[in-house]
Structures are given as C-alpha cells and as structure tokens.
Amino acid sequence: MGIYRQYLLPHLLDRTCAMKTSTRQRQRVVPRARGAVLEVGFGTGLNLPWYAADSVERLWALEPSDENYALSAARRRPVVFPIEHLRCGAEQIPLENASMDSVVVTFSLCTIPDTQRALSEMRRVLRPGGALLYCEHGRAPDPRLRRWQRRLTPLWKRVAGGCHLDRDIPGLIASAGFHLEKADGRFLPGWRPANYHYWGTAR
C-alpha cells in the first residue's frame, strides 16, 4: 500500500466526510438505528455522535482499513454501547443470518468494490423487518452531468480511495432485493459531480 493510501488518505477522508452537508445527511438517518446495528464502511467513526445511545444495544463496525478505524478512537471513547470492529470487506460479513436489527451505510456504497455482493450480505444479516439506513452520493439525474461523472470517475477513484461518482444508489439497493420504503434524492451544496445525494430506509 502506498504512502498516500496508508497515511494521507485516512486523514483526508476524515476531513472531507466531516463537512457540514454530509453531517446533516448523517443526522437524517443514523438516529433511526435500533438494537443490534451493523455499520458498513465505518471509516473514522463520524456517525458515532448521531446514534441514539438508548436505542442501540451493540454496534458492529465493519471497516477493512485499520488506519481509518484507528482514527475513530477519540469518537469511540464517550460511546456507551459496545462497539466491535469487523476488520473485513462487506462482500463477506462474518455475522449470522438475520442477526441485525439495522444496517447503516453512509458514503460507502460509492467505494465498496462489489456492491451487489455487499448489499446481498447486508440483506442476509438483517432480520425480517429490519432496516437498511443509508445516505450516499451518486449518479445525478441530468444526462450532461452524468457524462461528466462517468468521465471523472477513473481519475477520482485514484485520489479518493476507490470512490465512484456515478453509482445508481437506489437502483443498486433495489436490485439486491430491498424494498425502498423512504427514498430521497437531491442536489446539496458543494462540488456538483459529487453532490447529488440519496438517503432513506430500505427493508
């Protein structure tokens, strides 16, 4: 792993993912998590302040990067519910079938290499009636910007740790067999190729 990916990128992600727009999106979805919770692509723990502490029994923090997880230490300290680190990719989740009440995924479906496998794993570990809570950025509605997102993605992926600008987030979730119960999408302030946001609940 290069110096950029190992030492610089985790700090860069921590900064960029903490921007106001993303924080507002986290606040919309994370407080809805209940019971046994799996967070996929836990990163540097930026969602931790937004969990309803009295509703979460235990959090499984799935994060393949040790460097990212290490940066969450200060955010983990005040948390009252137990947190267990799953050091792996979401394409193979080491949890029992139907064992989670909620799965949270924020700004990670853009990065996970095999989203179809990862989403079908999320579906496998969710209890019947459990909720997939998500907020992501992805494919914009207008064709001109979509073309730019497609053109920019190969370069962007290299600097942003594998992030794709042009993923059809609701389409990916639905094609993994989820029913989109609440689904919002809109431009939020910021750099337009990365600022069409999707958020909601799927079951």
Residue ranges in contact with ligand SAM by CB under 6 A: 13, 17, 40-41, 43, 46, 62-65, 68, 89-91, 106-108, 111-113, 118, 163
Give 49 or 64: the residue with its C-beta nearer to ligand SAM: 64
Report the residue number whose CB is nearest to ligand SAM. 43
Q: Are 61 and 83 in contact (CB under 8 A)?
A: yes
Give 91 or 168: the residue with its C-beta nearer to ligand SAM: 91
Give 89 or 130: the residue with its C-beta nearer to ligand SAM: 89
Three-state SS annotation for 39-96: EECCCCCCCHHHCCCCCEEEEEEECCCHHHHHCCHHHHCCCCCCEEEECCCCCCCCCC
* Minimum gap (Å) between residue 190 Cβ and ligand SAM: 14
* Minimum gap (Å) between residue 112 Cβ and ligand SAM: 4
* Minimum gap (Å) between residue 143 Cβ and ligand SAM: 26
Question: Using CA of residue 33, residue 135, residue 87, residue 96, what is the dihedral sign?
Answer: positive
Give 83 or 112: the residue with its C-beta nearer to ligand SAM: 112
Q: Are 42 and 64 in contact (CB under 8 A)?
A: no
